[in-house]
Chains A and B, each alone.
Chain A
Amino acid sequence: MAEHTPKPEELSKVDYHPPKKGWMDPHVEFRKGTFCYSALAKNIEYLGMPNPREWQPFDADWKLPPNWKQIILDGMKERLEKYRSFRLFMDICVRCGACADKCHFYVGSGDPKNMPVLRAELIRSIYRRYFTPAGKMFGPLAGGRELTEEVIKEWFYYFYQCTECRRCSVFCPYGIDQAEITIIGRELLNLIGCNINWVMEPAANCFRTGNHLGIQPHGFKDSIDFAVDELEEITGIRVEAPIMKKGAEVLFIMPSADYFASPHYYTLLGYLMLFHEIGLDYTMSAFAGEGGNFGLFTSHEMMKRLNAKIYEEAKRLKVKWILGGECGHMWRVAHQYMNTLNGPPDFLEVPVSPITGTRFENAKSTKMTHIMEFTADLIHNGKLKLDKSRNDHWKVTHHDPCNVARGMGLLEEPRYVINGVCNHFYDMPENTIREQTFCCGSGAGLGTDENMEMRMRGGLPRGNAVKYVKEKHGVNLLTTICAIDKATLPAVVDYWVGGVEVGGIHELVGNALVMKGEKERTADLRGTPFAAKEVKAHA
């Protein structure tokens, strides 16, 4: 926890009264703990993007290019012509305010500019002033305002205070999606070099090494080897973990955090056990060693640049289809963008589970199946020997990642798998799960420590829902199928709840999976001893 973050008691005193002064006069204060630092010049340079320089958001002079205003207006014009979503969402909002208290940042901060409607108005007001007859003629009366450097600073602050979670879009009567507006707003900011390091460094790393963390091929191999060794200690079985094996049936893509961060790592162990047990002919790749895509948080072009390696690697390795691990925004990209960006993948086949024979018709064009679909199908067909009681020490609740819920609709598969591998599962209240799930507050590249206060504010609704099931059912494990969640929810639940761990679903699968020839297991993948089997003990 960053040193300046106020205590939960302080932070939860949220003032929802908007200021007396209207919002049209741009003003923003960069207070420590509520914003992310600027991108380092080396990262911008490496990616060949505009205006690399040394600067920070709290500097008075942002060192914008001299013609920045023209760049922004030209950029807006171009995007209005390229994206119907953008033009439409600029035009049709009626400011009914239904979205206002749907945003986790608004709920946690009370800052009116965090109401999705007003966050969008920050850019809409510029659109009206420069692109509509009413705005050109009547200015403020028609809701238009001048584009100044202060407006750019406001955009920066609030577009990097939106996690593109799409919750507002669920409630909007016209489906206006703030994520789409933020994506384009960030694209515009990138044109004049206003971006944050927590996004640009992973993007630069990913472009160079294939993953966000900048792990080089030997490092990738080392961490997989380490996992194989550890699994042998736990289970007595040495699993195979092929890397860049040509001619394998399946290419497995995961977020890099799975092999380099905790608690993601236990999920990796779960994958490796599962694939070994069912005898899946698969391969991982150090080149396509990242399913996550911080291009989504930068620009559509960067998303395409970072995503290209997945189909390229599938083609090079001559696999039949692609299986994707537990990740949130990776799946927004894989489900809604990848095939359009870098497809069609004609060299692949429709995914068919070699174990059950199930044809994944829903992935017949993109040729990439979600591991939750894959594992749910295995369990449904009785292909796994599972000892649920090995998860009896966990009382589980599940956090639906925003992108998987609202950008894909994968809601039941995780619950099916959880219920298949553990005995104690309790959903959080209805308004906080499935399509109404609340963001962790750190998505879309905002999960950095200097932004801790804002992350905790954004995490309040999620934290509160976890607290509810903890108090009601004694929940002690929050599962999620998103790498960013696994990295940032531990801080959120420690701060707002306490006494709840965060983990992946394939970690639970790994705990419950009874492998052929395994040695007697007494502890789960984390080394926590299994709950004593009371019935047997009494007998």
Chain B
Amino acid sequence: MNALLSLIVVLVLGALAYVGGSVEGLRTLFGVIIPYAAILTFLVGVAYRVVRWALSPVPFRITTTCGQQKSLPWMKAGYLESPYTTLGVTLRMALEVLLFRSLFRNTKAELRSGPQLVYGENKYLWLAALAFHWSFLIIFLRHLRFFMQPVPAFVNLLSDADGFFQIGAPVLYLTDVFILAALGYLLWRRFRDPQVRYISLFTDYFALFLLIGLAGSGVLMRYFFRPDIVAVKELALGLVTFTPAVPVQVGGLFFVHLFLLSLLIAYFPFSKLMHFAGVFLSPTRNLANNNRAKRHVNPWDYPVKVHTYAEWEEEFHDKIKAAGLPMEKE
């Protein structure tokens, strides 16, 4: 139900852009105003969310330790999984952000008769997540060719590498295949796995369909329905140099692509997609496991009612005395 609804929403939005792009009067809206509004929403929204997180303090150092602590000098410490220094934390975070270290640990537990619990390897989620995120990054960087004149060398290099196998014309980009395959898997997984289906919200499907629509429309344009590339670049350059011209007709598909992108960008601050920034702030990962060596200060610490030794001794005075234990007041 959630899935169907979000698919319909994305399809309707896409259709809207397709029609909008073909109507002269609406082209400015879809080609200029909405993209600008989306970027503004993204920048303000993301900044707001990150500042909001940052304003909430970290009262305790609650590192999740996934390896041996640093203790005795002759005992080998897990400097990545249980980092003791800032360098260790940086490396741990780098592994997490760049390679999804924690997801790589994923296993699958299966209860067989007996009972016998068996744990199997389960790396597909990790693989799909990695393929999606890295492909997305590379595709994003490849797109810089539309926004920069002259095209920077690294963008050309990246595009060449991405099309290394020189399959077909125009040359097939591997990331295009990877991103669609990965998104397909992530969607399929939400349908197929009963547990994941049970926890999936409308917003989970919405984000996926939005991304599939975005990547799909891009692929269609590149390999099947080529838009007027010169006009696209003019529009893109106009946008980034703040001299937007009223876009000419570059094809409905292009407006679908641009609109879905705008939606995605604008949707970021309101959604779980904020994990891209949040992961850096996660207190279980970005703090060193050096709690006993370095005191952590709680900025909102306040005095509490305790039961002092004096009160304790007073309450149990006779019993302590009878037991012959040392006392402050005999």
Looking across the interface, which residue of chain B has its beta carbon closest to that of A242?
B326
Which residues of A have CB within 8 Å of B325? 217, 221, 243-244, 286
Most buried by A among B102, B111, B117, B197: B117
B294 within 8 A of A: yes
Contact partner, B291, options A16, A366, A406, A460, Cβ 8 Å: A366
Contact partner, B129, options A96, A107, A360, Cβ 8 Å: A96
A174 within 8 A of B: yes
A82 to B300, Cβ gap below 8 A? yes
A93 to B282, Cβ gap below 8 A? no
Which residues of chain B from 295 to 330 have a CB within 8 Å of any chain A CB?
Answer: 295-298, 300-301, 304-309, 312-313, 315-316, 319-320, 322-326, 328
A444 within 8 A of B: no
Stretch at the interface among A146-154, A261-269, A333-341, A478-486: A333-341
Which residues of A have CB within 8 Å of B199? 23, 95, 97, 100, 112, 115, 117-118, 121
Which residues of A have CB within 8 Å of B117? 107, 460-461, 464-465
B interface with A by C-beta (< 8 Å): 5, 49, 52-72, 74-76, 78, 81-82, 96, 100, 102-103, 105-109, 111, 113-117, 119, 125, 129, 193-204, 270-272, 274-275, 278-279, 281-285, 289-298, 300-301, 304-309, 312-313, 315-316, 319-320, 322-326, 328
Q: How far is the CA of A312 from the CA of B307 in the complex (A)?
A: 10
Which residues of B have CB within 8 Å of A134? 203, 270-271
Q: How far is the CA of A218 from the CA of B285 in the complex (A)?
A: 45
* A85 and B58 in contact, given A373-B72, A408-B65 (Cβ under 8 angstroms): yes
Which residues of A have CB within 8 Å of B279? 92, 173-175
Which residues of chain A from 41 to 67 have a CB within 8 Å of any chain B CB?
Answer: 48
A523 within 8 A of B: no
- Give 5 new A-B contacts, CB below 8 A, not counting A82-B56, A97-B195: A96-B125, A97-B193, A339-B291, A409-B69, A464-B117
B292 to A88, Cβ gap below 8 A? no
A362 within 8 A of B: yes
A377 to B291, Cβ gap below 8 A? no
B106 to A362, Cβ gap below 8 A? no
A170 within 8 A of B: yes
Which residues of A have CB within 8 Å of B66? 170, 406, 409, 435
Q: How far is the CA of A336 from the CA of B288 in the complex (A)?
A: 11
B295 to A365, Cβ gap below 8 A? yes
Which residues of B have CB within 8 Å of A336? 60-63, 291
Q: How far is the CA of A208 from the CA of B281 in the complex (A)?
A: 39
A487 within 8 A of B: no
Looking across the interface, which residue of chain A has its beta carbon closest to that of B115?
A12
Looking across the interface, which residue of chain A has its beta carbon closest to that of B326?
A244
Stretch at the interface among A32-40, A303-311, A419-427, A447-455: A303-311
A82 to B75, Cβ gap below 8 A? no
Q: How far is the CA of A107 from the CA of B324 in the complex (A)?
A: 52
List 25 contacting pairs A-B, 8 Å CB cutoff, sorted by A: A14-B111, A84-B283, A86-B56, A92-B279, A95-B272, A98-B102, A100-B196, A141-B5, A143-B201, A174-B278, A175-B102, A175-B284, A305-B304, A309-B309, A336-B62, A336-B63, A339-B292, A364-B292, A377-B72, A405-B65, A407-B64, A410-B71, A429-B119, A461-B109, A464-B117
Q: How far is the CA of A300 from the CA of B302 in the complex (A)?
A: 11
Q: How far is the CA of A493 from the CA of B307 in the complex (A)?
A: 38
Which residues of B have CB within 8 Å of A429? 119
A258 within 8 A of B: no
> Would you give the 0/1 interface string for A289-306, flagging 1 where the beta carbon is closer than 8 Å to chain B?
000000000001100110
Which residues of B have CB within 8 Å of A6? none
Q: How far is the CA of A309 from the CA of B197 in the complex (A)?
A: 49
Q: How far is the CA of A309 from the CA of B310 in the complex (A)?
A: 11
Q: How far is the CA of A132 from the CA of B108 in the complex (A)?
A: 34
Q: How far is the CA of A8 from the CA of B204 in the complex (A)?
A: 38
Which residues of chain A from 237 to 267 have a CB within 8 Å of any chain B CB?
Answer: 243-246
